[in-house]
Amino acid sequence: MNAIIQVAPCGGAPINIISKSRVTIENEAYRDSIIRSHRGFMGTLRQAYERESRRNGATSANIQLRQVSESLQAQGIGMPSTIDDDEIVTLADARSKHCAHLKNSKKSIDHKIMLASEFVEGHGFDWPIAITKKDAPGDVLKKNISALKRVSDSRWWRRNFRKSLGRQTETVARELGAVRSGKSPYVSEWAFNRFMVRQKSNRDLIERMEMVEMNTGEVVDLVAAVDASISNPSNKRDELMVRMGGWDEIAKAMDLQCLFLTLTTPSKYHALTHKGFKNKKFGGFTPKDGAEYLAKVWARIRSEWARNGIKCFGFRMCEPHADGTPHWHLSLFFSASDLADAKRIFGAHALAEDGDESGAAAYRWDCVHIDPKKGSATGYMAKYIAKNIDGHMVGHDEEGNIFADQGAARVRAWASTWGIRQFQQIGCASVTVWRELRRRRDPLDLWEAQEAEAIRKAADDGDWALFVDLMGGAFSSRDDQKLKLLKPVNPELNIYGEEVSRVIGLVMRGVGRMIRTRFKVWVVQERKAPVPLSFKREASPPVLDLCQ
């Protein structure tokens, strides 16, 4: 305990001074030594320590701090998961050199693969190989050799360390209550700052790079090409809204009805309650676990819909609650006769797990029938799409209790940290074919099918409804759609010796002739200054073709 000492200044009244005891000094030294070992995460640990100390005393706070610090120790590296990116790069270089040394040793290939795979798995990573039932022993050996080359590349280790260490740290942050509405919604400050630093680093790299066309020497700044693509949040939002508007047109023409469905996880997936208190039912699940749960429930729903002849198309969006737990919104179009059964089946599967827990019936799923007389599905989805991309015209993010643009940036950080796909098309025509056709602005040659040119023009005009209709209709299967992607018969080999099939164009079913959408091959390299006079620099970026 602290001692109170009375001191009487000259000529003044005695005053009390709190003198720290030896125990207090030792506690603070112990606390600070642990907290300082987690640079960048110190604020979160200090707040958690002080909160626990106020509630249950310094001894309990020390025990919690030690347990948290142990949870932050990364597998196989003898370092905490909170290390910065420079340390990750250094670590990745060392691990890749170890694997490269194994690869170049005189050991047998089987022995090399065994030692390298044990080394990789000792860090908690899977050996990067996918074996199928069709693979002969020779195929398996080729894949293992490619995997050995892959783990000898520092870039592979960087990607995996960034992913695994980021998720490990963020898991602890959620358990400590550092992901919550208002304070740090969707992701912790540590994860958000880490994401923004990586974004800035990537942007700086892109701005230093250029693309050179291999045959003509034409040069384009890479940053201009990236900003013109759907990597730009504004372009991504615009494309999603165009497709949603097209679906509304299709639904009106076919007399279809729209259901706006919401699917959430059981309470055990939530680290915090809705009011921001610790959830006693929390089972330690991560947002990635929650996303996988939602995907499994959705697979069961679609399977039963298919067995009952219920068809639909539309859009699926995954977004986080304030504590980072994911939930889904779906805007789907059905025949009017299928609405009741579709809703019943959806609700039954939504409540199949822990459906009897308190509040399940009210919060685990929801269904809104969009009345076309009062509004459109596009209008209903517009706010949700913008809220999760760039916050455009949203204003305030009610879930996160922050400005919408700030909330959107945090949502992107959340999706990046946990590897969660935010948007997905359900059914309908291939958006990849749509994008391929939009690469080609000029009309197709006279010998090519007029039907293909009509599809190309619809895509070029941004007419999603007409594009879907010409491709075979809203409910056509991928095998029945008019155009499909074309890849070379003899795939190229990447730097690891693996076959890579790059899209080279499209082909129309029943015609068999290739429709070229990619005419140039670009090499990405660091920008040179000054630009050689023989190189022509474009005023505006082209649609990206093949980049190597």
The counts of H helices and E strands in the chain are 18, 18
Q: In the 8-state DSSP scheme, what is residue 172?
A: H
* Cβ–Cβ under 8 Å, residues 236 and 389: yes
Residues with Cβ within 8 Å of 222's Cβ and at least 6 positions away in sequence, in order, are: 206, 207, 209, 210, 211, 524
User: Cα–Cα–Cα angle for 253, 258, 259, nearest 5°?
Assistant: 170
Amino acid at 381: M
Active-site choice (30, 269, 293, 380): 380
Instruction: For residue 520, give the nearest of 228, 210, 216, 206 by alpha carbon.
Output: 216
Instruction: For residue 272, give the nearest of 262, 282, 264, 263 by alpha carbon.
Output: 282
Active-site choice (30, 269, 293, 384): 384
Q: In the 8-state DSSP scheme, what is residue 338?
A: G
In whole angstroms, give the CA distance from residue 474 to residue 485: 19
Q: In the 8-state DSSP scheme, what is residue 336?
A: G
In whole angstroms, give the CA distance from residue 466 to residue 478: 17
Active site residue 384: yes
How crowded is residue 476: how many other Cβ atoms within 10 Å of its Cβ? 17
In whole angstroms, give the CA distance from residue 108 to residue 358: 60
DSSP assignment of 170-196, as one string? HHHHHHTT-SBTTTB-SS-HHHHHHHH
Entry field: residues in the chain: 548
Cα Rg, the chain, nearest whole Å? 28
Active site residue 30: no
Catalytic residue numbers? Answer: 380, 384
